[in-house]
Amino acid sequence: MAHAKERSILRAKCMECVSLIAMAVGRDQSREDAQRMMSLIATWQRDADDPTFSYTLQAGARLCKCLGEEFMPYLDVVMPPLLAAASEENYYEVTNEDDEADEEEDDDVATFQLGDKNLQIRISALEEKATACNMLRCYADELKEGF
């Protein structure tokens, strides 16, 4: 299991590097590599709980910026998980103040007291939602009416 996680993180870092290099060298020099990367991303199983999921979202947006309108065929690949992440609603929970709190402290949960209620926000889920919304804006800015 740890081996699979290591590979997943390595794959995410590779996506990040390829997309950053593509942006640095431009469309003409990176067209083939960017298209190959998007084809690979299309075949990978995506899970919103995967800690490398945001790498995929960000790499897609960078490759879109690099390829411009040539990115259009890949919208079918990036949009479903992107829209799912942007519309995620399970990032918070409201509980009664006197409800038993979990014994373990979770660094990923911020708790706020509101009257007799507690609002618990999963920080990573909220960050993922914000990233997805920013990526949607990037696609809209880059692809304009094609979006």
Question: Residue 32: which residues within 8 A CB-CB, separation 6 or more?
Answer: none
Which residue range forms the structural domain that includes residue 65? 2-94+122-146
Q: Does residue 48 register a pLDDT over 50?
A: yes
Q: Is residue 6 part of a domain?
A: yes
Q: Is residue 16 part of a domain?
A: yes
Of 24-33, 47-56, 96-105, which one has max mean pLDDT?
A: 24-33
Q: Is residue 25 part of a domain?
A: yes
Q: Is residue 105 part of a domain?
A: no
For residue 74, give the 3-state DSSP assignment: helix
Report the alpha-carbon distance of residue 90 to residue 93 in Å, rounded. 8
Q: Is residue 116 part of a domain?
A: no
pLDDT band at 56 (very low <50, low <70, confident <90, very high): confident
Q: Does residue 60 register a pLDDT over 50?
A: yes
Sign of CA dihedral 124, 130, 136, 140: negative
Nearest C-alpha neighbor of 35 from the set 55, 9, 60, 13: 60
CA 81 to chain centre: 8
For residue 49, give the 3-state DSSP assignment: coil
Mean pLDDT on 57-75: 90
Q: Is residue 61 part of a domain?
A: yes
- Tell me the pTM: 0.73
Q: Is residue 88 part of a domain?
A: yes
What are the two backbone dihedrals, phi and then psi, of residue 119, each rounded to the nearest 5 degrees?
Answer: -105, 120
Number of domains in the chain: 1
How many H helices and E strands in the chain? 5, 3
Q: Is residue 42 part of a domain?
A: yes
